Amino acid sequence: MALSDTKLRNLKPSEKTYREADQGGLFVDVSPKGKKAWGLRYWRNGKQERIGLGDYPTYSLAEARTWRDDCKALAGRGLSPMALKRGDPIPGDAAPAVKELAQAFIRNWCMKAVEMVKAKEGETKAANTVEAFARRWYAEIVEPANSSPRNIKRVLDKDVIPAIGAKQVADVTVADILAITDKIKNRGADQMALQTRNVLKRLFAYAIAREKTQFNPAAAIEAKFIASARSRDVALSSEEVGKLLRAIYQSSMKRAHKLALHLLILCMVRKSELIEAKWEELDLEKAEWAIPGERMKKDKPHLVSLSRQAVAMFEELKGLASGSEWVFPSRGDLKQPIAKSTLNVAVRALAIDVRDFVIHDFRRTSSTHLHEAGFNSDWIEKCLAHETKGIRGVYNRAQYADQRREMLQWWADFVDSQIDEGRKVIIGRFGKAYQAERLDE
């Protein structure tokens, strides 16, 4: 009985490959994995030959039958379709009409088969690039199971895909991974380099499980060769806060960078939120800084109430910005902010007797001291731009603007007192004399 498209679609795999016949020697083999491949048995010069076409439904039933008829027409004239497919030349003594028929067969079927194989190989390669596979891993594994998948997506988009996204997963080397982590460390972000290596280690473990590679280049690099893993519980003591700021203001770093580090402590914002700030975000008359959502970690706008000290620092920075739209313009290009590594490098250069810390610990430091001082946790979390979860988060729609303003002013005064606790350091017009001038206005 002849095959039909309905019957072809409904053919199910079995434990062993089996064959279903059509007519005129045409058949389809069904493998245990469900692959359906066309084949043909035909006679030429009294001998039987066999040739394959390709898969169903890549080649439809109608195309397979046309191919069968073309093959049998060639065989009937003494030419071997199997030999032509193999690439053997057309016999020189063949009649012109037979040569034309053979050339048409090569164009219609042999060349098409080669093109389809190449296209399929191209599709497979495209699917096995690091970018394509990372997107698949993120959608299938990371996003459904991770409480903060955006952090991993940021790692992929910022550092991994731009560097090795076009490479085949199986071609990525240890040197590729080290190049990525070294570049991140050169920005002064050692812990981010370690985190990126850990993300890549998970990505390639999944690639091994999906049989895309047999080697995990990220796992081959021990974490200690990138950065020392650190517990994220560093909060500077009040004495350390004073030591740090005194060392900053006595150092040779640029004045704008000194103010930036001080503002990071006072405003409780992330480093990127400060160094990428533009003057259009600041209203110094209202003592407010409105950070747009696209610059925030949670994609939600954030309002920072500015203490008197912070306002004075921003006013000084306005004069240092040389007319740039950025609060902290790059020295080499006023149309760009300072590099992300600038402040990290400045801190590492300090000769100071303060335990190991990173700039991000400024946020934990302020949170710790405010909690110890008895301030409301909701106010502190709002200043940190953290979202309150659960029922309290649903009902907590208040922004606590007045309370936050009062709390941040207390915090700025507290930090001032730590600076003054040691030997006096002239830190600028935002000192107490300047504060008194503003209060008298």
**Residue 81's domain is classified under what CATH number?**
3.30.160.390
Residues composing the chain: 441
Task: State the average pLDDT over residues 169-191.
Answer: 87
Q: Is residue 232 part of a domain?
A: no
What is the per-residue pLDDT for 441?
A: 41
Segment of 186-195, 333-342, 393-402 carrying the highest mean pLDDT: 333-342
pLDDT value of position 145? 67
Say yes or no: 97 and 201 in one domain: no
Looking at the whole model, is its pTM more than 0.75? no
- Judgement on whether residues 422 and 354 belong to the same structural domain of the protein: yes
| 312 and 208 fall within a common domain | no
Name which of 315, 321, 310, 290 is nearest 401 in CA terms. Answer: 290
Q: Give domain status of residue 394, yes or no.
A: yes
Q: Where are the beta strands (DSSP E) in 284-370?
A: 288-291, 302-305
In this prediction, residue 421 has a pLDDT band, given cuts at 50, 70 and 90, of: low
**Are 142 and 60 found together in one domain?**
no
Checking if the pLDDT of 426 tops 50, the result is: no
Q: Evaluate whether residue 230 is within a structural domain.
A: no
User: Is residue 275 within 8 Å of 338, Cβ to Cβ?
Assistant: yes
Closest residue by Cα to residue 98 from 111, 85, 81, 113? 81
pLDDT of the residue at 120: 57
Residues 318 and 217 in one domain: no
pLDDT grade for 122, boundaries at 50, 70 and 90: low
Region 312-316: mean pLDDT is 95
Asked if residue 70 and residue 138 are part of one domain, the reply reads: no
Q: Note the pLDDT tens digit of each residue in 17-41.
A: 999 999 999 999 999 989 999 999 9
pLDDT tier at 437, thresholds 50, 70, 90: very low
Provide mean pLDDT across the span 349-359. 70
For residues 102 and 134, state if they share a domain. Answer: no
Domain that holds residue 19: 5-126
**Rounded to whole angstroms, how far apart are CA atoms 423 and 428?**
15
Cα gap 187→193, rounded to integer Å: 10
Asked if the structure places residue 231 within a domain, the reply is no
The answer to whether position 283 is within a domain reads yes
Tens digit of pLDDT for each residue in 229-238?
454 456 788 8
| Domain end marker among 126, 154, 183 | 126
- Residue 392 vs residue 90, higher pLDDT: 90
Residue 233 lies in a domain: no
Shared domain for 139 and 82, answered yes or no, is: no
- Range of lowest pLDDT (59-73, 118-132, 298-312): 118-132
Per the structure, the count of domains in the chain is 3
Is the confidence at residue 326, as pLDDT, over 90?
Answer: yes
Q: Residue 187: which CATH number? A: 1.10.150.130
Q: What is the pLDDT of residues 241-275, one digit of tens each?
A: 888 899 899 888 999 999 999 999 999 998 989 99
Which strands make up the sheet holding 26-30, listed edge to edge? 18-21, 26-30, 36-44, 47-56
In tens, the pLDDT along 134-170 reads: 998 988 888 876 655 777 888 899 899 999 999 999 9
d(CA 409, CA 414): 9
**Per-residue pLDDT reduced to its tens digit, 185-225:** 887 777 788 889 999 999 999 999 888 889 999 998 888 77
Residues 299 and 375 in one domain: yes
